[in-house]
Amino acid sequence: MKNKKLLFSMLLILIGTSIFAQQDANKITEKYIVIDNIDDFFQISEDRVTCNPIVHNITDNESAKPYHIKVNELKNVIKFSMKSHSEEYENQRKCKLIINKNNYKNTFISSLIAMEVTYIYYNKEYLTLEQFYSYIK
């Protein structure tokens, strides 16, 4: 009887461990941003587009300076800034990106590449930058 209880307990532990391991395997570890509503995300004026992405999975020991340099050097970027440290949530940094309206789709994607962002969480799924490109108006 004790052997059956022990065997059953071990089986439950094994099943529970494999379920948690699978959940961890599906977790995104690369940098990503979240866009809930694309129409609200991009603030479009006559000559410029502004957005405020929050980069996820960026640690506090990562310097924002390399991203400032890379993004601000891009053609059509008017101004880019990234907070030096996480403020509200751990491993998340607020950014502000102002770009010229002309060709803003490409400039936006290029900016994300320069920030080493791999995915955009949109419509309840993680999209690659290439997949998300078609959603931008």
Question: Would you say residue 17 has pLDDT above 80?
Answer: no
**CA-closest candidate to residue 71, choices 105, 98, 102:** 98
Reported pTM: 0.79
- Mean pLDDT throughout 71-98? 92
End-to-end CA distance of the chain: 66
Question: Would you say residue 76 has pLDDT above 80?
Answer: yes
Is 29-133 assigned to CATH 3.30.70?
A: yes
Q: Which residue has the higher pLDDT, 120 or 137?
A: 120
Give the 3-state secondary structure percentages of the chain, helix then strand then coil, rounded to 5: 40, 30, 35
- Mean pLDDT throughout 93-100? 97
DSSP state of 59: -
Contacts of 90 (CB under 8 A, 6+ apart): 60
CB distance 93 to 52 below 8 Å: no
